[in-house]
Structure 1
Amino acid sequence: MIAQQASREVGSLFEELMAAKDDSELADCVKSIVTALGGESYVFVSLHSSATTASRATHRFLIGCRPEWCQMYNANKWYMTDPFLEYARSNTAPITGSQIVAETQGQREMLVAASEHGFRSGIVVPVHTSATERMGVLYIGSEDSQAVGEKRLTAHRLYFRALAMELLDWSIRMARREVLEAHGITEMDLRVVGYLRSGFTAEDIAREMDISVQTVYVNYRKIKDKIGVSHISEAVKFAEVNDLLA
């Protein structure tokens, strides 16, 4: 009976999460879900899979842990050697903290600091999607020992995987909307760029969209001006990097 009640509670929280209107509402819902599943702290990060560790231009964060931990993480540039992030780039299975072997002094220092700031035990959940090149990593932490905390968190790994996927979907939608609004990119612009990515010529696009070739070239110029690039092929790359094309 207790398990059924907990399941219903988590299910209700997931419904609230999917209806969240902004990052603040989302963060509150995630915190409630994590707590209901036995966690205490969390960090979710999404990034473009091809992004280098030194450049975080495509990174998006949702923070549910002590702020000083994030400050230390950034100040020490641990994102450049984060073993969990590197694991997530090429794996999809959740992994506990004790399963990660620190190979460098920087990684050892990071893991020690994490254990002192809400991640004494924990589980890391990678998530990938075939629709875009953006990936996500959900870090769940507990103040309990590894023996106790990891056992409890691992028992809920299916819920955590579902949570990570929902957060990645949210991140993709928000990142896309922000880029479209910032550059004034329209759905017609995206349609043109999508045809270009598929190998269409200007003539092909004109025929497909039932417009003149001259109009296609006018659209090219407008798209380049909006994005700030000199060649239309750069606009295609921009759209790919920012997950604008389905």
Structure 2
Amino acid sequence: MRYSASAADPAADVVAPVPTVWDTVARLHESTDEADVVQLLSQVASQLSADAACFIGSVRVSASRRAQRLIAACDPAWASDYLFRQRFEHDPWLLHARRGTDPVLGSAIPADSVDQQDTVAAAHAAGLRSTWVIPAISSVGEDRIGVLYLASGVVGRLEQDPLLAFRMKVVGRSLAMELHEWLHVQMRRDLLAESRLTEAEIDLLRHEEQGHGSKAIAIALNTEAKTVDCRFQRIIAKLRVASRREAWRIAKVHGLI
């Protein structure tokens, strides 16, 4: 007597459920590789009827300089051009994320200068024509910002459906926050790897956060003030900044303290 696969094993015919958009967002917690995150971002974008997506993380590393990272599930040439030309300085969508917290359509954000208009035109040419701009909120304010672009290459595609707009806002906010946290962890690891800060040096920066001077720190650590000064100079050199306060701020925005 012959038995079918389903008769012998009823579970053999069970079809795995199709992952929901929330399942895909949740998988970001499990990802340690940026290529995997790009793939998941692309998958979420597709589930939301978007053709392209990009997350931009921006951290202030000095009074006049910021560091940017992109997670780009879109035209790689546009992403490379964005970084090479430092378009973040003239990106009105990113500027919106620095000033506000509400998701908004890119078409509703004015491009006030020639450079801003050129930045938007480059995004349109790369397939980000109908774009939701979704800021990611940070506990350290403008020192660390993030923004998610969910886009279609078809003009007006994401503006026409109220239900789709609602999904973009609700899912997009969660996705933006998850990507912001993921990138924050990666940038913290990169900073530690590049600077080789020790736990003792991070502890010194905690003293700086509390406003302790060299003499007070020396008493707490049972050493001399000039030794504390020397140790701070090493920290400043490692982080490539000009002062203790800037060193503390970089450690703060990267979540080291």
2:167 paired residue number:
155
Aligned residues: 234
1:79 aligns with 2:91: no
2:125 paired residue number:
116
1:35 paired residue number:
46
2:69 paired residue number:
60
Contact 2:214 2:229 in 1 (8 A): no
Deviations 1:25-78 (A, max 9, x none): 2111111112112211112111125878x854x111111111232344456553
SS at match of 2:151: strand
SS at match of 2:88: helix
> Structure 1 residues 106 and 199, CA, compared in 2 at 3 Å: closer, same or farther?
closer
Deviations 1:79-105 (A, max 9, x none): 332111111111010110221222233
Contact 2:57 2:68 in 1 (8 A): yes
Deviations 1:202-240 (A, max 9, x none): 4543565xx3033x754552452254179x982441231
Contact 1:84 1:124 in 2 (8 A): yes
Counterpart-to-counterpart distance in 1, 2:99 and 2:61: 12
> Structure 1 residues 193 and 44, CA, compared in 2 at 3 Å: closer, same or farther?
same
Moved more, 14-23 or 198-207: 198-207
User: What residue identity is the alignment partner of 1:164?
Assistant: A
1:241, CA displacement in angstroms?
A: 2.8
Give the unaligned 5+ runs of structure 2.
Answer: 1-16
Contact 1:122 1:153 in 2 (8 A): no
Give the unaligned 5+ runs of structure 1.
Answer: none
Contact 2:207 2:217 in 1 (8 A): yes
Deviations 1:83-129 (A, max 9, x none): 11111111010110221222233333333332232112010011221
1:191 paired residue number:
203
Normalised by the size of structure 2, how large is the TM-score?
A: 0.78
1:136, CA displacement in angstroms?
A: 0.5
Deviations 1:130-164 (A, max 9, x none): 14621101111112331x32343453211111111
> Structure 1 residues 193 and 77, CA, compared in 2 at 3 Å: closer, same or farther?
closer
User: What residue identity is the alignment partner of 1:144?
Assistant: V
Normalised by the size of structure 1, how large is the TM-score?
A: 0.81
1:181 aligns with 2:193: yes
1:165, CA displacement in angstroms?
A: 1.0
> Structure 1 residues 51 and 199, CA, compared in 2 at 3 Å: closer, same or farther?
closer
Moved more, 158-167 or 75-84: 75-84
Contact 2:201 2:235 in 1 (8 A): no
> Structure 1 residues 50 and 88, CA, compared in 2 at 3 Å: closer, same or farther?
farther
Counterpart-to-counterpart distance in 2, 1:153 and 1:51: 37
Contact 2:236 2:242 in 1 (8 A): no
Aligned-residue sequence identity (percent) comes to: 24
Q: CA RMSD in A?
A: 3.0
